[in-house]
Each structure stands twice: as C-alpha cells, then as structure tokens.
Amino acid sequence: MTRSQAIRQEDISLSELITQSQAGSLPAFRSLMDSQKQYAYAVAFRLLHHEENANDIVQEAFIRVWNNLGRYRREFKFTTWLYKIVVNLCYDKIKMESRQKKIFGRFGDDSHSSDVADTRSLHDAIEANDLTEHILSESKNLPPKEYLVFCLRDIQDFSIEEIAEVAGMSIGSVKTNLCYARRRVRNAINRLQESEHV
Amino acid sequence: MNTCHKIESLLYLYRDGELSAEEQQMVREHTRSCSRCNTILRQLHSIDDVILPLRNDVPVLPDNSPVVNDTIRWISKASRKTRGNKNGWFIDFMFGWVRPALSFTVLAATVLLIVQQALDSNKINTLEQRLQTTGQRMVPNDALRLLRIDPSALQNASAGSALADLFKQNTGLFEYLAHRYPNLSGITPENGIDEQERRILLTEGKIFLKEFQQLLHEGE
C-alpha cells in the first residue's frame, strides 16, 4: 500500500468514525479520540507547556467535539476543526494567565510551577547557555495573541493560512502579530546578550 | 535608513511562505547592501535554528493518560442525565410552568404590596400634614355637613335653642369643635375629602355626637 493510499484509508476510517459518533456511538467516539488525542495534546502542550493543563484542555476539547458533532460540516477538515477548538481553549487559558500575571505579578503566579523555563532565572539560563529555554521564557511574556501566533508558527510549524483558520484571524493580522512577536523575542535576546557582556 | 525602516517589518517574516516572491526579492537585494538589516536577518535565522529542535520534538500524551477514559465517563454521565430528563418530559410539560408562574405571581404581589404601601404612606403623610396645618377654618355649617348633621335639625332639637345659644356664644360650632377636636381644624371642604379622611371625620364625629348628646342632656 502506497502512502497516499494509506492516507486515503485513514480519511475513510476517520469519516466513518465521525458518522458513527454523530449517531451517538460512544465506542466509535472513543476510537475517534484515540486517533486524534496525540495531535490535540501536542497542540495544547506546546501552547501551555504544562502537562496537566494540556490534559484538561484535550478533555474539554473532546467534550465540546461530542456536544457539537451534530453541527460539524464535512467540507471542513476534522483535524482543523479539532485544532480550532483546542487553540481557542488554550487561548482563553493563556489570556486568563496573562491577566493573573498582570494583577498578581510574576511571583504570584504558581500555575507554571512545573515549568522549567519559569523556575529558572534568566541568569541561570545564561549560565546553562540554554537559549532555547530563554526564548520560551521570553515568549511567555508576549501579549496573548502574539504568543499564540508565535507558538503556532515557530514551534508548531503551522502555515500562516492554517493559523488564520484555527485562530480565527485574518492572514494580515497573523503576519502582523508574528512580526511583533519575533521583534520582541529578538530584542529580549539582545538585551540578555548585552547584560551578559556587562 | 528610510528603506531600512520599510524593509525591517519584512525581515521578521523570513520563513517560507510568509513573504511574496517580490517581497523576498526586495529583502534579498536590501540585505546584500545593508549590514544592519543583514545582521538582524542573521540573528533571526539563528533564533530559528535554536527553536528548530522544539519544532521537531513532538510532545506525546503518556499511554497511561486518563484523558480518553475520563472524557467517555463524563459523556456517559451527561447522557444518562439527559435521558433521565427525557423520561420526565410529562412532568416537565405539565408542571414546568408552575415554578415560573408562581415566581411571577409572588413577584407581582410583592411589587403591588410595596406600591400600595407607598401610596398609603404618602396619603397618610399628606393627611397628617393637612390635619396639623392651622389654615382656613371650617364654617360651622360645613363642619356639620361633613359630620352629616343637619343644621336645621340641630336648631329644632328639643333643647335646640339653648344649645344654639351655647354655640353662638362660643362664636360658632367650629370654634368648639376646633378646641375639642384639633384634628378637624385643618380640613377644609374646598380641598375635598377622600375616603380615608371621611372615615377619620366620622369617627371624630361619632365621639362629638356623644358629647353633643351629653351637652343636650345637661342643657335640659
């Protein structure tokens, strides 16, 4: 079986699972979740960097999928629809955390206690020469919309069109936010390198 | 520098598919001659290189994750609840309206009660104010009319003349009434009398009639 044949087969079985789930079959929905949970989790985890929160989001997303299966339109790709739900839920969470951060300050927010990037100080990151963690850490200080676009594009590798679709934004808005986000991250790294030289 | 400013926003959209072919060409040409913009672009590429491992490292949901089972359990529970409600459709249909209807009735009754009390309290306040005001006095005949006493009947009473003299000597019936029943002194026929006021007058009037009978008796 060639790769395209395998993909076609996968689409057919996914479509069949959706049809059965729409008819109210829980075993079919379980299989549908089993086939999609990794994608959903990957999107949620890369946006939230928190295992427990990502699990909660995936669960909430599948519950929403189940409740709205009747409204699902076949002309849209199921995975895109699922990503849209996951991204929306994550975005709400990010916005909430950003608001909490603003109100209580960085020290008041313990929601990322398991997050390596947050628990390490910038100087630790420099000493460990861990620029990746620093970029992640800085990206979390971006405004929620910029953070969402930055993560989806630069970490998840979504195309601009895909981001526009799942995040419900125009292509122009995606590009603008991406541009601002990358500029902020670059400036933050420059500041870090300057302080390192001093 | 002006060109740099125009190009800079394009520099940040350096990855494939982010710029049109024409924009890519502009960036390429500009960065070839501008060291500042070239540095920015190189920096951005190096940041992208740093992020690359993150892009390739796909997070995996652990096998023992309870997500699927928890979701199915939640859905089953919610479905049972919905089915339970479906069985009780008759009760819902028959009595579903009772609660809102009762709530509405209670609310309406409360509002009416409050409005009525407010109106009553306003009426009483006005009456009290009018009763306490010493303004225009009632002429004796008006006072008698209000008390539903016929002045001619008074004149023709058995001891009428003696009593009439008594009132005349005291500058009229109302002077006596005003002295004896100060509550009546503020009410004038011109202002009109409502039912509440009439009730007060009649109560006062009954007492007055009793005293009047006594006076009559004493007069005899």
For residues B164 and B154, the answer to whether their CB atoms sit within 8 Å is: yes
Which of A132-146, A160-174, B96-110, B133-147 bottoms out in mean pLDDT, i.e. has the lowest?
B133-147
What pTM value is reported for the model?
0.60
- For position A114, what pLDDT does the model report? 41
- Is the pLDDT at B37 greater than 70? The verdict is yes
Q: Give percent of chain A above pLDDT 70.
A: 79
Quick one: pLDDT band at residue A43, thresholds 50, 70, 90? very high
3-state secondary structure chain B: CHHHHHHHHHHCCCCCCCCCHHHHHHHHHHHHHCHHHHHHHHHHHHHHHHHHHHHHCCCCCCCCCCHHHHHHHHHHHHHHHHHHHHHCHHHHHHHCCHHHHHHHHHHHHHHHHHHHHHHHHHHHHHHHHHHHCCCCCCCHHHHHHHCCCCHHHHHCCCCHHHHHHHHHHCCCHHHHHHHHCHHHCCCCHHHCCCHHHHHHHHHHHHHHHHHHHHHHHHHC
Largest CA distance in chain B: 135
Mean pLDDT of the residues in chain A: 81
- Tokens 């594009």 correspond to A153
- For position B190, what pLDDT does the model report? 46
Mean pLDDT of B5-28: 87
Strongest mean pLDDT among A75-84, B128-137, B207-216? A75-84
Strongest mean pLDDT among A165-179, B48-62, B87-101? A165-179
pLDDT digits (tens, 9 = 90+) for B165-178: 544 554 445 455 55
Higher pLDDT: A125 or B60? It is B60
- For position B199, what pLDDT does the model report? 64
- For position A173, what pLDDT does the model report? 93
| HSE-CB for B24 with a 13 A CA cutoff | 8
Chain B residues near residue A135 by CB distance under 8 angstroms:
47, 50-51
Higher pLDDT: B134 or A160? It is A160
For residues B40 and B11, the answer to whether their CB atoms sit within 8 Å is: yes
Cα of A99 vs its chain's centroid, Å = 18
Higher pLDDT: A175 or A3? It is A175
Chain B residues near residue A131 by CB distance under 8 angstroms:
50
The CA distance from B114 to B117, in Å, is 5
Higher pLDDT: B201 or B16? It is B16
Closest residue on chain A to B12 (Cα): A179
The CA distance from B113 to A111, in Å, is 52
Mean pLDDT of the residues in chain B: 70
ipTM of the shown complex: 0.74
Q: Is B76 on the interface with A (CB under 8 A)?
A: yes
The CA distance from B37 to B60, in Å, is 39
The CA distance from A163 to B104, in Å, is 49
Question: Taking CB atoms and an 8 Å limit, are A154 and B18 in contact across chains?
Answer: no
Q: Please enumerate in sequence order all residues whose Cβ is within 8 A of that of A98, keeping only pairs 6 or more positions apart, or say none.
A: A143, A144
Q: Is A179 on the interface with B (CB under 8 A)?
A: yes
Quick one: pLDDT band at residue B198, thresholds 50, 70, 90? low
DSSP assignment string, chain A: --HHHHHHHHHHHHHHHHHHHHTT-HHHHHHHHHHHHHHHHHHHHHHH--HHHHHHHHHHHHHHHHHHGGG--TTS-HHHHHHHHHHHHHHHHHHHHHHHHHHHHHHH--TTTT-HHHHS-HHHHHHTT-HHHHHHHHHTTS-HHHHHHHIIIIIS---HHHHHHHHT--HHHHHHHHHHHHHHHHHHHHHHHHHHH-
Q: Is B40 on the interface with A (CB under 8 A)?
A: yes
- For position B214, what pLDDT does the model report? 66
Q: Is A42 on the interface with B (CB under 8 A)?
A: yes
pLDDT digits (tens, 9 = 90+) for A6-31: 555 566 688 888 988 888 888 899 99
Query: B174: how many CB neighbours lie within 10 A of its CB?
Result: 20
Amino acid sitting at position B148: R
Nearest CA distance, A195 vs chain B (angstrom): 17
- For position A97, what pLDDT does the model report? 86
Query: B110: how many CB neighbours lie within 10 A of its CB?
Result: 10
The partner residue sitting opposite B18, judged by closest CB among A136, A157, A175, is A175
User: In this complex, how many residue pairs, one in chain A and one in chain B, have their CB atoms less than 8 Å apart?
Assistant: 91
Structure tokens at B36: 């500042």
Chain A residues near residue B55 by CB distance under 8 angstroms:
154-157
Q: Is the dihedral of CA B107, B109, B114, B119 positive or negative?
A: positive
Quick one: pLDDT band at residue B189, thresholds 50, 70, 90? very low
Q: Give percent of chain B above pLDDT 90.
A: 5
Higher pLDDT: A158 or B99? It is A158
The partner residue sitting opposite A132, judged by closest CB among B40, B54, B67, is B54
pLDDT digits (tens, 9 = 90+) for B127-143: 656 555 444 434 445 55
pLDDT digits (tens, 9 = 90+) for A94-153: 998 888 877 766 544 444 444 444 434 445 444 445 788 888 888 888 999 999 999 999
- For position A63, what pLDDT does the model report? 93
The CA distance from A40 to A64, in Å, is 13
The partner residue sitting opposite B71, judged by closest CB among A33, A186, A190, is A33
Which of A61-65, A178-182, B98-102, B127-131 bottoms out in mean pLDDT, i.e. has the lowest?
B127-131
Q: A69: burial class by Cβ within 10 Å (0-12, 13-18, 19+)? A: middle
